[in-house]
Each structure stands twice: as structure tokens, then as C-alpha cells.
Chains A and B, each alone.
Chain A
Amino acid sequence: MAGYAVEIDDVTVRFRSKKRDVTALADVTMHVEPGEFVSIVGPSGCGKSTLLKLSSGLLPASKGDVRLFGEPVNGPRKDIGYVFQKAALLEWRSARKNILLQAEMRKMPAKEAAARADELIEMTGLSGFEDALPHELSGGMQQRVALCRALLHRPPVLLMDEPFGALDALTREQMNVELRRIWQETGTTVLLVTHSIAEAVYLSDQVVMISARPGTVAGVVDVNLPVERDYGPTMAEPEFAKATRHIRDHLGAAAAAE
């Protein structure tokens, strides 16, 4: 029963507004094993963010079932960590206090939370900026603060919505390596939305391709790369090239069929 970490069964999401009805997702089925790293790619507006919000219970499904660890999702779930497309930091709190918001809301023991925060700050290279306010941080640093905040309570599921979209190519690569390491250390289940095919392949066990609106699962690619992935060598692997080409062809074909 409780075999899957995230289970999305035949789910349709329709947005109803005054002017139009938009079907964002249609009959999507997707299963994620515990500890798996799954990326979601697809054209803009195909419903990737919607899929994440659905998994966390921030959005209800119009049809179908969503389950987290076998439990039906109805209403916001707190056994997750969420990184939004924007960093969404509180302007009046320092980097450290923004990270600790997670602990305060959850009423975690202060000592344990502080230790964990220090560990994450160290790990993400934010040392020296603990007491800087968000507007004093670069876009990439803000995203790292948001990542620390999402990891503070060691969530069994981490949902990330284009967390590195605002970063330069180099920092992005560093963050990819970082995230891969964090994932290996923590063993959490990760659902990552990204526009970068290379990022998706480098990081994931599995890449789910979503077609343009209404979003449906256009295909799933298993990435058969070793668990230990050094950035440069991995990029040069034939399997890496094969997987990225496959995804690119698939998304391209879907776009051409429009």
C-alpha cells in the first residue's frame, strides 16, 4: 500500500475563472518511489508548477487521486519541503532567521533547529551572510536560503519549482552538484521542475516529460547513469547524451505536432 512516496492517479486539474476555463493537467498518472529523484520538464504553461502544488495539497484535483506515502492528500501537507519559483523570503528577517522560520512554525526544539541551520548554511556556502537581509543577498544566495529553509526539518519529500532559474550557468552547475550531494546524504524523495534538460538528466533517476496544455505525461525517461556523478565526466558519458537527445527530440516533436 504505502509503496510509493508520491502517487498521482489519473488526475485532472481545471482552473475556472470569469473569462475562461483552463485545463492545466489532463489524466496525469505518475508514481515516485521513496528516495527517488524525479525531474519534470515541459514547455512553459504546461502545468509543471500545478503538478507540484497538487502533490503538496496546495491545490485540489478536479478529478483523480493524489497520495503521499499512501495517504490521500486533501489540504496542505506539512511533511514536505517546498522551494518556490521565486525565493519567497521575508524581507525583515536575516538569512538565518528566514531559514529558522520553518522551525518556528513547526515548533521544533530551538537547539536542534539552530544546529541544523548552521549545518545547512555551511553546506550551501552561505557562511558569513547569516545575518544579511534578503535584499543584501544575490539572487542565487536568496535561492540557497530558500533551499536551506526547505531542508531544515529533513522533509521526506522535497518539491522544487525551478529553484535555479535565476542563476548564472556556473553557479547553477555548482548548485546542481550541491543538490545531488544533499540528496545522496539525506535520502529524501525529490520532485524537481526545471527547464534545463541537462540539469534534469544530471540530477535525476527519472525524467517525466509533460506535453503542452492540457498537460499530459508525454513520456518517462530512465536515466541509467551511475549513482556517483562527477559533473564533467557525467556530461561526457554516452548515456547522458542519449538521454538528453531523447528528451529534446520528444519535447521538440511534441512542439512540432502543435
Chain B
Amino acid sequence: MVTHTQSARTGQRERAGEASGIAERSRPGLGQRLGGFLERSWRPFALLAALFVAWWGVTAAELVEPYLVPSPGNTFDAIAARPEYFWEHTWTTTYETVLGFVIAIAVGVVAAVAMVQSSTLEKTLYPLLLFAQVIPKIAIAPLFVVWLGFGLGPKILVAVLMAFFPVVISMVTGLKSVDPEMLQLSSTMGAKSGQTFWKIRFPASLPHLFSGLKVAATMAVTGAVVGEFVGADAGLGFVILQANGNLDTPVLFAGLLIMSLLGVLLFVLVEWLEQLLLPWHASRRDEGASTTL
């Protein structure tokens, strides 16, 4: 009882000078934000470390033949032995992936907007989209090589094809999920359709778009590597194929490792962009306004 009243009184004293219980807060500094980031994301890193230790343990105890699963040491040695080689091929795959991803976003968003504007267009395009999605990319990739040659073209095209679908679907869903009363309200304000689009429809669709972009980011990496598998003289897909041919498992593992890292990095980048562009959505999702004691 006593402590209760005391704490209530301290609370009152702290609040003295604040108008009606509102206290302005200053923006967190860089250090604070970094600390917050670490606090939130140490778990995945811990898991990663645990997996790494497990990998190391399995190879150190020689539970499997080294030529089947190389040790982490051997894998890193393989990278360290030829850094320019890995750098060059990683760069090629990164380039294809990012370019494919960006093209997929541009084309996907424009297609989604067009489809939402016109239902005839939607009915025409949807089956085509679905068809492009269900057809196995690995099966049409050779065709792209025939058409576009051994350069970057076919790899980027496969990456675009893989990343395109989640972008369109999420954007269409987003554009359609706007509260109809919001649109009615907009018409009572005498808004032009362009105004309604930019001020209401488009921003409202962004959370949906970003969940699609996260899927698309990982798809783009897969697409680029699939493109490389079919015919390439550069890129991580090429590295893996070559290492496979030579039964060089350390290099193969190194390629796989870098490839996954690339996917994760792109994913994290999209997530970071989401937090930057849609702070209102992020704070709503993880209850940004925590209660203080």
C-alpha cells in the first residue's frame, strides 16, 4: 500500500510541467538505433552461429567423408585461395539479380496499376501471367539462350520472370484493398482520379507490395542462377557447375554460401527500405509505442 502511494506520487512529480500527460520525445540517435537493431536481430545471428558450429562439429568429428562435406575451414580456404575469381563471379550474379529485380518491380507495378484500372485488361493479362508463372523456368531458360545468346540477357530475363509474379499479385491485392469509404470520401472532396491514386490508393498498397518484394528478392537470385546453369561462362551458377564437374566440394560449398548470403542481403535490404519508407506500417505491426513504466 505504502509503496503504491509513493510511486504514484513520484509519478506525479515527474509529470509536473508536462501539459496534460504528453511528453515530447527526441528522436533516437544513431547509437541508440544501432543498439535497438542489435537487440532485435541477435537471435538469427545466434542461430546462424549455431548452425556454423554444427557444420564445423560434423566435419571435425569426421562423421562424413571430407569430399562430400568440406569443413568450414576448407571452404573459406577455397575462397581465400582465389579471391578475385569469387569476387568477379559474385559480382556478375549480383548484377543480374539486382537488374532483374528492379526490372521486375518496374514492370510488375505498372502492370498491376493497369490491371486495376481496367478489368478487361485484367481478365486478359491474368491467364498470361499465370501461364508465365507456372511454366518451369529451368525448362524455358535454354530457349532464352537460343534467342539471346550467352550474355547477361537470358539470366536477367529468367530473374525478371521469377520475381515478376509476386510483385504483380501483391500490388494488385494492395491496390484493391483500399477501404471503399476512403474512395467515396475522396470523391466528396472533388478529387481527380490521379489525386486519389497518388494520395490514397498507391500509399495504401505499399505494405502489400513490400511483402511481395520480399518474396521477389529471393526469387530473383534463384532466377539469375537458373539462367547461369543453362549456359554461362560467369556467375555463381557457373562456379557451382564447374566445381561440381571437378568434384571440388569446397568451391561448390563456397559458391552456395555466397549465393545464400546474396539472397539474404537483398531480403534485408528490402526490409530496411520498408522500415524507412513505411514507418507508420512498421510501428503499427510491432506496436511501436510501447508503454513505459
Contact = CB atoms under 8 A, between A and B. Distances in A.
Interface of A: 53, 56, 58, 76-78, 80-82, 84, 86, 88, 90-92, 101-102, 104-106, 128-129, 133, 135-136
Given A105-B199, A133-B283, A88 B190 contact: no
Number of contact residues on B: which range applies? 20 to 34
26 contacts: A58-B184, A76-B184, A76-B188, A76-B190, A77-B188, A78-B188, A80-B188, A84-B181, A86-B181, A90-B203, A90-B204, A91-B204, A91-B280, A91-B281, A91-B284, A92-B281, A102-B189, A105-B189, A105-B191, A105-B195, A106-B190, A128-B19, A128-B20, A129-B22, A133-B284, A135-B280
A223 B186 CA distance: 34
A140 to B, nearest CB: 15
A91 B205 CA distance: 12
A133 B203 CA distance: 15
Nearest to A83: B185
A58 B188 contact: yes
B79 interface: no
B110 interface: no
Contact of B199 (A56, A58, A91, A101): A101
Nearest to B182: A88
Contacts of A88: 179, 181-182, 185
B274 to A, nearest CB: 13
Contacts of A106: 189-190
A53 B22 CA distance: 38
Interface in B177-233: 179, 181-182, 184-191, 195, 199-200, 203-204
A76 B19 CA distance: 42
A111 to B, nearest CB: 19
Nearest to B24: A128
B270 interface: no
Given A101-B189, A128-B20, A90 B289 contact: no
A213 to B, nearest CB: 22
Nearest to B284: A135
Contact of A104 (B181, B199, B204, B289): B199
Nearest to A75: B187
A15 B206 CA distance: 33
A179 B158 CA distance: 61
Nearest to A155: B188
Given A84-B184, A136-B289, 15 more contacts: A56-B188, A58-B187, A76-B184, A76-B187, A82-B184, A82-B188, A88-B179, A88-B181, A88-B182, A91-B281, A101-B189, A104-B199, A105-B186, A105-B195, A135-B280
A78 B184 contact: no
Contacts of A86: 179, 181
A39 to B, nearest CB: 20
Interface string B258-290: 000000000000000000001011011000010
Contacts of A58: 184, 187-188
A49 to B, nearest CB: 10
Contacts of B283: 133, 135
